[in-house]
Chains A and B, each alone.
Chain A
Amino acid sequence: QKEVEQNSGPLSVPEGAIASLNCTYSDRGSQSFFWYRQYSGKSPELIMFIYSNGDKEDGRFTAQLNKASQYVSLLIRDSQPSDSATYLCAVRSGGTYKYIFGTGTRLKVLA
């Protein structure tokens, strides 16, 4: 069973702080990793994707990938109340279009 694990939260951080969201996956053949943000009642929207070990930065967001540990994380700097949402980690195995989603972590940024 290929799994993607996330802590469901809620993770509460004060406005302006760094929010750290974590995700582990079981399939060592996974090659692409995605972070989606989902507001209540809405569809997921892509924040970032990462393929290579290390860090990838995009604005206030940094994705970190460690394939040896089967671990991917998302850091949100200068968190804003508008960042409050559920963050879904998704993993795609090489050669397929299938995405396996984690259960999501609910983030609350407190004003």
Chain B
Amino acid sequence: GAVVSQHPSRVICKSGTSVKIECRSLDFQATTMFWYRQFPKQSLMLMATSNEGSKATYEQGVEKDKFLINHASLTLSTLTVTSAHPEDSSFYICSAPKGSGGGNTEAFFGQGTRLTVV
């Protein structure tokens, strides 16, 4: 299957600082990438859709000024958690679909980033 690489896998930061997470599609181009957040024992909740060359689309309840998304190229999307607080501690996962958008489209996931804000 396709490879999506996410970095870093773990990060600990102090409250009030910012953290950047990178998501790269290694062997295909992704005009769209998705960012999810997963709290313990809960499912993946879509935070935002990252669109190459245009603004990200945020889901209801997600603060766009706090979670900055940049999709600067067809293989890279970044999520920056600004002014992080302990309640932002979570598992952040990116995914990139590979396919034409029809029935053969599959989403491939990055390895995830465990963020701990202390």
**Which of A's residues lie within 8 Å of B, judged by CB?**
31-32, 34, 41-46, 49, 51, 88, 90, 92, 95-104
Whether B95 sits at the interface, judged by CB under 8 Å, is yes
**Which of B's residues lie within 8 Å of A, judged by CB?**
1, 6, 32, 34, 36, 42-46, 49, 91, 93, 95, 97, 101, 103, 105-112, 114
User: Shortest distance in angstroms between B79's beta carbon and chain A's nearest beta carbon?
Assistant: 15
Please tell me if the beta carbons of B112 and A97 are within 8 angstroms of each other in the complex: no
12 contacts between A and B (CB under 8 A): A31-B103, A34-B107, A43-B6, A43-B111, A45-B109, A46-B106, A97-B34, A97-B101, A99-B95, A99-B107, A101-B45, A102-B43
Contacts of A88 in B (CB 8 A): 43-44
Beta-carbon nearest neighbor of B6 in chain A: A43
A90 to B43, CA, bound (A): 10
A44 to B103, CA, bound (A): 20
A92 to B95, CA, bound (A): 14
Please tell me if the beta carbons of B43 and A101 are within 8 angstroms of each other in the complex: yes
Please tell me if the beta carbons of B114 and A44 are within 8 angstroms of each other in the complex: no
Contacts of B44 in A (CB 8 A): 44, 88, 101
Partner of B34, one of A41, A43, A99, A104: A99
A100 to B105, CA, bound (A): 14
